[in-house]
């Protein structure tokens, strides 16, 4: 039985490893600079956002592993009603956990966007520029 558990964990690790390697940050070059006053709320929001992103990745990996465990229990049951009931419970609680986690991550998103809506530029930015935090930006920086 111990060998089966070790084999299952090794296979799970092999399936999760590509997701972890794709989680590496990508550098898209240096963004345009915007001069603003330091704001501790932005720092705290960014910090909490990074923590939540990490928690989300860990949750997704955990959910995948739990659904694999449920599948393993379905295969192990071999039609016996008691063991099938156990496998169905794993699957049910796994689905409930995914639904709760998705709600837990989307509700704050909607609240944050309702409280602080997106800032738009007034007047409208010229073609070839982009509105960022209420400032029209070109590739070189702010436009006067």
What is the pLDDT at residue 24?
53
pTM, full prediction: 0.47
Higher pLDDT pick, 74 / 7: 74
pLDDT tens string 126-140: 777 777 666 777 755
Q: pLDDT tens for residues 4-52?
A: 787 777 777 666 666 655 555 555 556 555 555 455 556 676 777 788 8
- Is there a cis peptide before residue 123, judged by omega within 30 degrees of 0? yes
């Amino acid at each position: 039985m111990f060998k089966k558990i070790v084999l299952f964990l090794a296979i799970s690790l092999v399936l999760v490893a590509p997701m972890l390697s794709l989680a590496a940050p990508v550098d898209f070059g240096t963004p345009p600079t915007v001069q603003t006053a330091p704001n501790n709320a932005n720092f705290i929001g960014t910090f909490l956002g990074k923590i939540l992103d990490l928690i989300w990745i860990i949750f997704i990996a955990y959910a995948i592993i739990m659904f694999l465990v449920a599948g393993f229990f379905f295969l192990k049951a071999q039609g016996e009603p008691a063991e099938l009931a156990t496998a169905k419970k794993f699957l049910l609680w796994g689905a409930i956990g995914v639904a709760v986690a998705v709600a837990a991550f989307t509700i704050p998103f909607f609240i944050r966007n309702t409280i602080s809506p997106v800032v738009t530029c007034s007047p409208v930015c010229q073609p070839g520029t982009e509105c960022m935090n209420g400032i029209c930006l070109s590739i070189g920086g702010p436009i006067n």
